[in-house]
Amino acid sequence: MQNNLAVGLVGFGYAGQTFHAPLIAATAGLDLRFVASSQPQLVTDRYPDTGVLFNAMMLINQPDIDLVVLATPNASHYPLACEALDAGKHVVVDKPFTLTLAQAKELALRAQVSGKVLSIFHNRRWDADFLGVKALLASGRLGEIAQFESQFDRYRPQTRDRWRERAEPGGGLWFDLGPHLVDQALQLFGPPLAVFADLQKRRAGAQAVDDFHVLLRYPTMRVKLSGSCLVSGGVPRYVLHGSLASFEKYGLDVQEAQMKAGLLPGSAGFGLDPLPGYLHHSVNDQTRSEEIAMPLGHYMSYYAGVRDAVLGLGKNPVTAQEGVLIMQLLEAAQQSAETGAWVIMEALCE
């Protein structure tokens, strides 16, 4: 145990309970040493060998902590990450990386100067369906891609009084689900030429964005990213159209639901997507469909990558510079929604 990296988790709300704590506990070489939480009994019930501290700074200042994980409200990411880096800790920040592009650039610089690993928790790079889409694109079976659609919805017709839905920086669906979709698009296609966005408040009493439609323009293709709190089903998660074939995939990756239900990462069936995708191609003017099984989803790859990066054995799985680019796109979409015009990425980056 003394050779394991000591991890301190700040926050034991939904993200801390459902994602970070189970994944840290299941990753060889990581020891969940402390949790900073206002719910000490809940932490102790689930992780009896883990110490509980009452605030973030108590945890950050623990001398025997190697890695600080921030599973806290969005507005706290930047100040707490600054404190942790200044205390000589490696840091994982839940998405979104920060509230603004300026904050993201500052954190990236601080991490570079400190020599510490700063990583952003973009776990959905390891969704089963996303891994399947990556593999299909790499196979060349779709040909030259003309259009990529990524839609991530929820059905929550009633607003709730919580920080994620308030009219404050970092609130709303674009900063909640948008970072995942933007990150996946960047992983597949790189930075776009321009961004156009429609960000709306659709539900009665909504204070923050709960519906978004964002277009990313590339030289020969378009990417469509969308999300809503008013979709109860019936729409695909991914649609791709290429010069040789089209592909569609329904359903969400199951790992979040499995961990929420108590299934431990690494257990039999963990990450197994029960729904295949479908490849549609034309042969002699007739459309034929082929079932495509998804690879196994594997969120554990993220923390294994962080462990290896801290030990100098591998690359940071999600770098601060990648987080900066994601923030550029998030802000570009907000600017586009405000002006009703395309935002050119080259101009934004100058």
Q: 131 and 41 in one domain?
A: no
Residue 244 within a domain: yes
Q: What pLDDT does residue 169 have?
A: 85
Residue 316 within a domain: no
Token code pair at residue 109: 């610089």
Average pLDDT over every residue of 161-176: 86
Residue 313 within a domain: no
Helix and strand totals (H; E) in the chain: 13, 15
Q: 56 and 193 in one domain?
A: no
pLDDT category of residue 347 using cuts at 50, 70 and 90: low
Taking the C-alpha atoms of residue 329 and residue 24, their distance in angstroms, rounded to an integer, is 29
Residue 319 within a domain: no
Domain residues for 107?
A: 5-121
Res 162 pLDDT > 70:
yes
Each residue of 203-232: pLDDT tens digit?
A: 999 999 999 999 999 999 999 999 999 999
pLDDT category of residue 309 using cuts at 50, 70 and 90: very high
Q: 153 and 47 in one domain?
A: no
Each residue of 124-153: pLDDT tens digit?
A: 999 999 999 999 999 999 999 999 999 999
Q: 175 and 267 in one domain?
A: yes
DSSP class of 195: E
User: With pLDDT > 70 as the criterion, what percentage of the chain qualifies?
Assistant: 98
Taking the C-alpha atoms of residue 84 and residue 67, their distance in angstroms, rounded to an integer, is 9
- How many domains are contained in the chain? 2
Residue 318 within a domain: no
Res 163 pLDDT > 80:
no
pLDDT category of residue 29 using cuts at 50, 70 and 90: very high
Q: What pLDDT does residue 326 have?
A: 97
Q: 286 and 165 in one domain?
A: yes
Taking the C-alpha atoms of residue 11 and residue 9, their distance in angstroms, rounded to an integer, is 6
Strand partners, 155: 230
Residue 117 within a domain: yes
Of 213, 210, 299, the residue nearest 254 (C-alpha): 299
Taking the C-alpha atoms of residue 157 and residue 231, their distance in angstroms, rounded to an integer, is 9
Each residue of 224-259: pLDDT tens digit?
A: 999 999 999 999 999 999 999 999 999 999 999 999
Average pLDDT over every residue of 29-55: 96
Other beta carbons within 10 angstroms of residue 203's beta carbon come to 17
Q: 106 and 188 in one domain?
A: no
Residue 271 within a domain: yes
Q: What CATH number does residue 78 fall under?
A: 3.40.50.720
Q: 130 and 84 in one domain?
A: no
Backbone angles phi, psi at 150, to 5 degrees: -130, 120
Taking the C-alpha atoms of residue 85 and residue 111, their distance in angstroms, rounded to an integer, is 7
Q: 105 and 17 in one domain?
A: yes
Cβ neighbours of residue 273 closer than 8 Å, sequence gap 6 or more: 128, 129, 132, 251, 253, 254, 294, 297
Backbone angles phi, psi at 198, to 5 degrees: -125, 110
Which of these three, 121, 150, 178, is where a domain ends? Answer: 121
Task: For the chain, give the mean pLDDT.
Answer: 95
The whole model's pTM is what? Answer: 0.94
Q: H or E element: which one contains 93?
A: strand 90-94
Q: What pLDDT does residue 130 have?
A: 98
